[in-house]
Amino acid sequence: MHWCSRQSLSDTRHGRTGYSVREFQSRTFQTTFRRRDCLDLKPLDPRLLRRSRAVRRHLISSVALGAATAVLVIATSWFVAELVAIRFASSALTALPLAILAAYLVRAVVAWVHGVISERASTRVKEDLRNEVVDDLVDPRRLGPRPSSSQLITLLGPGMNAFDGYIGRFLPQLGLALVVPIAVIVAVGLTDPLSALIIVLTLPLIGIFMALVGLMTSDKVERRWAAMERLGRHFADVLDGLIVFKVFGRRQEVGIKVIGHKHRRESMAALRIAFLSTFVLELVATISVALVAVSIGLRVVDGELELAPAMFVLLLAPEAYLPVRRVGILFHDSQEGATAAAQLLDVLEHPHHDGTIGAPSEPVAISFNSVRVTYPERTTPALELGSARIEAGEKVAVFGPSGSGKSTAMSILLGFEKPDEGAVTVADTDLFQLDPAAWRKRIAWVPQVPRLVAGTLIENIVLGTPEATEADALTAMADVGLDDFDTNRVLNESSHDVSAGERRRIALARALVRVRVGGAWLVLLDEPTAGLDAEREHQIVEAFSQLGTTLVLVSHRAETLAMVDRVISLTESEVPA
């Protein structure tokens, strides 16, 4: 059971972390309440079975240990039934008490082994999935939007912790529920067909009630999970804008309190249904066993059934219902883990680059041919571009209103997003036939909100170009107006110790080093000169132009548009009537 979400590409690609209240509410609704389209009530996601060898081994061992448990249950019941029959006949006791004791000891050992294997499997699955998610996020061949950081924190933190209930307890019990009832029904059928028929007719009732309860519980669990992620998103957003809130005297305690209260309310609603559903399953199982007991008692009194087989069936009947009841009880404990597993698998399932052709080492023409990109959460295309050609060494500006697809066009050039229709060619070769790692080595990218790493100024400027020297960094610093900065200055990853303009100039210096030393020839700039004066802006654009690069920049400033050779105008798609 899972619900799907999709994060806006431009936010994750270009480092955007702050939203307006209306935008935040819209995104929260889109990413947390699009559940009905993705609801799937499978106890075990087939994708998890395909991906995880540990889960496959765990299921095989669960079935094997379940078979051993079934044999021991039948043997123990037979020993006890024979012992009672012997005592009623006043016959001498044999070695049956020792056999019963041995059978219970072996059952305890099997249960202990099952528990140990389950816990180890849960730990291994969590470790494997964490590693796989991290490897996938840094995979250069990954296509499509990255998940938001708050979603990842929720999934890899509380979500992974819930795997103990799902992998460690629910799946082993599911193995027992598949094996033990069948074995018990066969044993009872060979002894008393009528009792076996009653069990066969009443056992599905537990499954029916479990399905009905599951339909109710799934919605509650999804709401609780959505409330948890919404709380995380809101808290992260508050932290991101904490300085602004403090300056303008906006207090956020009320908002956090309201969202926290929603989370508590949804948690209590899920727990209430869990307790009520447990009572329903116990009631159905008790009534079913009572039907078997009444039938056996009447036939024993009438002399139609001997005491030993009657006791054997009476002892076995509850064992047919017990594993299924336990599955119902553990179902609620497993749902957070199942939801987290489904969402993690959603993160891992996306298109990949399959290109292997080397990227051109010199500037070549780039063409957009009837390109169209759509997102599921949008009613209009994110980008529609009929035909556009960027010549080698040309300076081109991409201009258009908000929502017209400027950032999407940049993401396509970076190889992060693949068009749904049309194609982008690089020297008559489809962009997505190129090796993505080789192609990105030819790109110098400055996003709208550049990111820094913890380290010195020089380390930040040569980031991504390991062969660059300090002299290369100093030259780039002079070009962007950072020559008065202390080169040994240690920067914070949060970028709070530099201004927005300084951070942007550091990113521009990084791009210059990548062009001069790293061999990049395609420069992508997303509003790179905001906060810079006209003279400095002209100096930076000319610096890239003199290096013979192909320059593609997104800008709304008239001064910037006047510096380029050509402007590609994008228009916002209209909602069809």
Model pLDDT for residues 223-232, shown as the tens digit of each residue: 666 766 676 6
Phi-psi category of residue 490: left, alpha or beta, with phi > 0 → left and psi -120 to 50 → alpha: beta
CATH 2.160.10.10 is the classification of domain 366-569: no
pLDDT tops 70 at residue 6: no
The residues pairing with 456 across neighbouring beta strands, listed in sequence order, are 490
Residue 21: what pLDDT?
A: 36
Percentage of the residues of the chain whose pLDDT score is greater than 70: 80
CATH 1.20.1560.10 is the classification of domain 43-348: yes
Window from 54-63, 213-222, 466-475 with minimum mean pLDDT: 213-222
What is the pLDDT confidence band of residue 167, given thresholds at 50, 70 and 90? Answer: confident
Cα angle, residue 401 at apex, residues 395 and 403 outer, rounded to 5° = 105
Helix (H) or strand (E) holding 56: helix 53-88
Domain layout of the chain by residue ranges = 43-348, 366-569
Residue 91: what pLDDT?
A: 67
| HEC assignment per residue over 96-156 | HHHHHHHHHHHHHHHHHHHHHHHHHHHHHHHHHHHHHHHHHHCCCCECCCCCCHHHHHHHH
The residues pairing with 429 across neighbouring beta strands, listed in sequence order, are 426
CA-based nearest residue to 10, from 368, 382, 437: 382
What is the pLDDT confidence band of residue 22, given thresholds at 50, 70 and 90? Answer: very low
pLDDT tops 90 at residue 511: yes
Q: State mean pLDDT over 90-110.
A: 84
Percentage of the residues of the chain whose pLDDT score is greater than 90: 22
